[in-house]
């Protein structure tokens, strides 16, 4: 069974990696085999979120550069869930390996992974020049675009408008508002962008602390975290049920 490819996108500091990691956790509890791919070519961030390490013989560069029919072996299993695997650059590596990544190689890797997992999530990059992120956006069945209200976020949204139009991906985008902590008025941001937000995520004060401790928000039971988890459950239900 080939997977549904889901892309997570947004500007810098929009909460997209936090969302991608926790959505993957939510989906993995629904008896789905979930693969999560990081598009970060210089720093292994997913292993920080999961509190694990990616050995040199695994990881993104090996998956991309090797024509390996068993691409699932390059993913790292999340120790807390038998259904969740992630692909990130190794925790320790040498050389500017990211220079070797091409669109063709990224597409081949992603298509191969799509036959291994029921659901494949690509944690995209803010930069439109990132090959893994761009291929993920192109192949994705749907794109969850995160917005954390700010002038920078509004400028990013405007800056990628030509890219969105050229790739014809606007109809696949589902916009999600990351509610701010009083730093910027979300009503002003809604007015500035004119976007319809399908979901709203609550502000998580201790998100960074939990992530650095390798604890996904989805598995941390507290009032605010449960609110975040309920939104993830709604989205996961839509994905597994085929709803828009």
**pTM for the whole structure:** 0.92
The low-confidence residues of the chain, meaning pLDDT below 50, are: 1, 243-244
- At residue 244, the pLDDT reads 41
Q: What is the pLDDT of residue 98?
A: 54
pLDDT at 215: 79
Query: How far is C-alpha 135 from the chain's CA centre?
Result: 13
Long-range contacts of 54-58 (CB under 8 A, 24+ apart): 54/88, 54/89, 54/90, 54/91, 55/90, 55/91, 56/90, 56/92, 56/93, 58/90
**Among the listed residues 125, 20, 111, 122, the one whose alpha carbon sits nearest the alpha carbon of residue 71:** 111
**What pLDDT sits at residue 162?**
96
Task: Report pLDDT for 189.
Answer: 92
Distance, CA of 140 to CA of 5 (rounded, Å)? 5
* Nearest partner of 164 among 195, 209, 204, judged by Cα: 195
Q: What is the pLDDT of residue 115?
A: 92
The dotted CATH code for 4-241 is 3.40.50.300
Measuring CA to CA, how many Å separate 228 from each of 60, 219, 234?
A: 29, 11, 10
**Dihedral, CA of residue 42, residue 90, residue 61 and residue 5, to nearest 10:** -90
Q: Where are the domains of the chain?
A: 4-241
DSSP for the chain? -PPEEEEEEESTTSSHHHHHHHHHHHHHTTT--EEEEE--SS---HHHHHT----TTSSHHHHHHS--S-GGGGSEEPTT-TTEEEE---SS--S-GGGG--HHHHHHHHHHHTTT-SEEEEE--SSTT-HHHHHHHHH-SEEEEEE--SHHHHHHHHHTHHHHHHHT-GGGEEEEEE--SSSS-HHHHHHHH-PPPSEEEPP-TTHHHHHHTT--GGG--SHHHHHHHHHHHHHHHHHHHT--
**Rounded Cα gap, residues 115 and 29, in angstroms:** 20
Residue 212 near residue 184, CB atoms below 8 Å: no
**pLDDT at position 152:** 93
């Amino acid at each position: 069974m080939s997977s549904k490819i889901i892309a997570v996108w947004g500007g810098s500091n929009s909460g997209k990696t936090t969302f991608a990691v926790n959505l993957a956790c939510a989906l993995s509890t629904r008896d789905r085999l979930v693969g999560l791919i990081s598009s970060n070519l210089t720093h292994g961030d997913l292993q920080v979120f999961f509190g694990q390490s990616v050995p040199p013989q695994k990881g993104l560069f090996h998956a991309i550069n090797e024509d390996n029919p068993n691409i699932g072996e390059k993913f790292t299993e999340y120790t807390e869930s038998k259904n969740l695997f992630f692909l990130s650059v190794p925790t320790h590596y040498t050389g500017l390996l990211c220079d070797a990544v091409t669109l063709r190689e990224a597409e081949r890797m992603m298509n191969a992974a799509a036959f291994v997992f029921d659901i494949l999530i690509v944690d995209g990059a803010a930069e439109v020049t990132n090959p893994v992120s761009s291929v993920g956006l192109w192949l994705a069945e749907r794109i969850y675009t995160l917005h954390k209200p700010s002038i920078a976020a509004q400028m990013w949204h405007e800056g990628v408008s030509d890219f969105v139009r050229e790739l014809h991906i606007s109809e696949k985008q589902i916009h999600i508002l990351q509610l701010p902590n009083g730093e910027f008025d979300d009503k002003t941001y809604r007015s500035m962008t004119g976007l319809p937000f399908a979901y709203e995520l609550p502000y998580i004060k201790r998100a960074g602390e939990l992530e650095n401790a390798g604890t996904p928000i989805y598995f941390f039971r507290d009032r605010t975290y449960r609110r975040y988890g309920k939104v993830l459950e709604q989205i996961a239900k839509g994905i597994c049920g085929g709803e828009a």
